[in-house]
A and B are shown apart, each in its own frame.
Chain A
Amino acid sequence: MTAFRAILAMFCILAVCGVLLGAFGAQLKGDMPCPLCILQRMAMLLCVAGPAWLLARSWKREVDAIDYAQCYGASIIAALAGATMSGRQVLIHIAPGDPGYGEPMLGMHLYSWAFVVFATVILVSGLHMLALPRRTERLPFAGASRVVVGLAVAIAALNMVAVFFEEGFHAVLPDNPTEYRLLDDLGIHREAAPPAESETPTP
């Protein structure tokens, strides 16, 4: 059961990291993320922080039920915030005939997938708390867990750099980002983006 709990924590991190990498791939293909999409990425990374925190604690000492509750509790709080954001974006585009924001992936838009991810994080965290250990335990696979947590850190850093390019030296992102504003801020002019259509979907 101890090994199962360690594997489940690593699986949670890898699953959310996979979604984040998919969203990043869509960005590289030209689908610029809107402010709400960026907020949902932040919430996903904070969801990942829960199991990552548990694994990091287990590297130095044995963990107990309090450690599990604190770490998965943090994940649930972050998932609730993220579900609020993605739910709001789903509601913006829920009217019939609305094309939505961005290109759909596997039949749903990214913000709809984000809502599914946050609901799944809450469900899995709740299930994990049903099987809390009764005594302290040292989680196995310390080497593998370091690789998995390192991947999460790398994805967080990658997103930070990408958002810096998109935001530039401005306080917030524009509602409908069409270019990387840092390049304009630094005076690196690129070919002008085509003018926005009259019915550009709002994020």
Chain B
Amino acid sequence: MDTLIFLLIVLTFVAMWRGKHRAAGVLFVLALIAMLFLFRHHATDTLPISL
């Protein structure tokens, strides 16, 4: 999953470079959401904390 998120980030940059700004925005948001889901996994499942 980490590799896929990095792939999303690379594609975001490529879309920016090619002038596909709407696609870049969508990819940026997808990468951000995927990153937060992965953080939630690591924060709650494998390294539990209590707030």
Interface of B is mostly: helix
Residues of B contacting A36 with CB < 8 Å?
Answer: 39, 42
Residues of B contacting A49 with CB < 8 Å?
Answer: 9, 12-13, 16, 24, 28
A-B contact count (CB 8 A): 95
Residues of B contacting A149 with CB < 8 Å?
Answer: 13, 16-17
A160 x B16 contact (CB < 8 A): no
A52 x B13 contact (CB < 8 A): yes
Q: Which of A184-201 contact B (CB under 8 A)?
A: none
State which size class the interface on B falls in.
20 to 34
Quick one: given A42-B31, A49-B13, are A35 and B2 in contact (CB under 8 Å)? yes
**Interchain nearest-CB distance for B36 vs A (Å):** 6
- A118–B12 Cα distance when bound, in Å, is 20
Residues of A contacting B32 with CB < 8 Å?
Answer: 46, 77-78, 81
Q: Mark A59-98, 1 if CB is under 8 A from B, else 0.
A: 1100000000000001001100100110010001000000
How many positions in chain A have a CB within 8 Å of any CB in the partner chain? 39
Which of A35, A45, A163 is within 8 Å of B42, CB to CB? A35
A39 x B10 contact (CB < 8 A): no
- A84–B35 Cα distance when bound, in Å, is 12
Which of A43, A167, A173 is within 8 Å of B35, CB to CB? A43
Residues of A contacting B19 with CB < 8 Å?
Answer: 56, 59-60
User: In chain A, what residue has the closest Cβ to B46?
Assistant: A175
A38 x B2 contact (CB < 8 A): yes
Residues of A contacting B43 with CB < 8 Å?
Answer: 88
A56 x B1 contact (CB < 8 A): no
**Interchain nearest-CB distance for A158 vs B (Å):** 10
26 A/B residue pairs, CB under 8 Å, sorted by A: A35-B46, A36-B39, A36-B42, A38-B2, A39-B38, A39-B39, A42-B31, A43-B35, A45-B6, A46-B28, A46-B32, A52-B13, A56-B19, A81-B32, A81-B35, A81-B36, A84-B39, A152-B13, A153-B10, A156-B9, A163-B6, A167-B1, A172-B1, A172-B38, A172-B46, A175-B46
